[in-house]
Amino acid sequence: MNELKVVFMGTPDFSVPVLEGLIEHCQVLGVVSQPDRKVGRKQEVVFSPVKEVAMKHHIPVFQPEKICKDYEDILALQPDIIVTCAYGQIIPKAILEYPKYGCINVHASLLPRLRGGAPIHHAIMDGYDKTGITIMYMDEAMDSGDIISQRETVITDDDTMETLHDRLRIIGRDLLLDTLPSILDGTADRKRQDEDEVTYAYNIKREEEYLNFSKTSRELFNQIRGLNPFPGSSCVIGEKEFKVYMARIEKIDTSDKQAGEVLHIYKDGIGIATSDYEIVLTDIKPNGKKRMLASSFINGIKKEDYIGKVAYGSKQ
């Protein structure tokens, strides 16, 4: 594959191993990434992780605001294949139809499940017991192209969005490199997606961060893990706001308790009634403080100030 001329399109940290694998095994002619953004109070310009890697390897970087209108410089590179991974814009037809080997996408789910921009978050939040990587031919719709190859990974109760993200980015790199030879020699599978099995994983909305304690403990446990570390779940206990990053379930009967009522202050966390059991918040960030184990927070509070209070997803 050393002679294969590639243009890579990607933006976040998830895409970095895929790009690095292509740099090692192919000729990467150019990298396309989202425009630089100003972040933080100082509005400092931050490059995307993919741009940082491209610059390190002296690869030209293109950052169109709207790739649907600004793509001629990309086609001028005359790539044999275009590989995308979490790029962040819809690719226009003119690009999709240009390379002789097509446009290939590395997507972080087992399509047709979890189409969209947040498949790793939703795999955990929605209670999936497995997910994986799909290598697919791209078309003009979102994540709907023909499947070439897939590789699974099991989701355990110890997984968070972070651990699953880090595992999938390596699987994505390895599966792409394993799949490319069959694309080049014309033996790659091409399987149509079953539209009856489609589910979606749209980008996380602010209201999806709020913990609704009328849900089951398992639903809340999945939500908390699926949003850890970013953007984090959130709730209010009394008048104090918290981000929540990890929890455990206590299987005690809460049928006679109000959902959201703080029942216990354990050594390792704050126990709150749900629709079935008790969810114990064990890794938190009180508003205005650093993230900490709940055990550290508990050492500095009076239990009676919290027990009996009702927790809500956000301020009422």
Range list of β-strands (E), 138-192? 147-154
Residue 315: per-residue pLDDT: 63
Select from 180, 197, 214 the last residue of a domain.
197
Note whether 45 and 94 are same-domain residues: yes
Residue 40: per-residue pLDDT: 79
Note whether 60 and 79 are same-domain residues: yes
Cβ atoms of 99 and 81 within 8 Å: the answer is yes
Note whether 177 and 277 are same-domain residues: no
Select from 179, 197, 215 the last residue of a domain.
197
**Cα dihedral sign, 14-16-20-26:** positive
Note whether 99 and 145 are same-domain residues: yes
Note whether 14 and 127 are same-domain residues: yes
Domain that holds residue 161: 5-197
Note whether 22 and 126 are same-domain residues: yes
Note whether 190 and 91 are same-domain residues: yes
What would the pLDDT profile of 142-201 be if each residue is shown by its tens digit?
999 999 999 999 999 999 999 999 999 999 999 999 999 999 999 999 999 999 999 999
- What gap in Å lies between CA 304 and CA 307, rounded to an integer? 5
**CATH assignment of the domain containing 225:** 3.10.25.10
> What would you report as the CA-atom Rg of the chain, rounded to the nearest whole angstrom?
23
Note whether 112 and 218 are same-domain residues: no
Note whether 243 and 166 are same-domain residues: no
Select from 197, 215, 234 the last residue of a domain.
197
Q: How many residues does the chain have?
A: 316
Note whether 143 and 253 are same-domain residues: no
Residues 6+ apart with CB under 8 A from 258: 273, 310
Note whether 94 and 136 are same-domain residues: yes
Q: Find residue 292's DSSP bridge partners.
A: 284
Phi, psi of 72 (to 5 degrees): -60, -40
Cβ atoms of 266 and 248 within 8 Å: the answer is no
Note whether 20 and 137 are same-domain residues: yes
What would the pLDDT profile of 186-216 be if each residue is shown by its tens digit?
999 999 999 999 999 999 999 999 999 999 9
Structural domains in the chain (count): 2
Residues of the chain with pLDDT under 50: none
Pairing of strands 278-286, 292-293: antiparallel
**CATH assignment of the domain containing 131:** 3.40.50.170
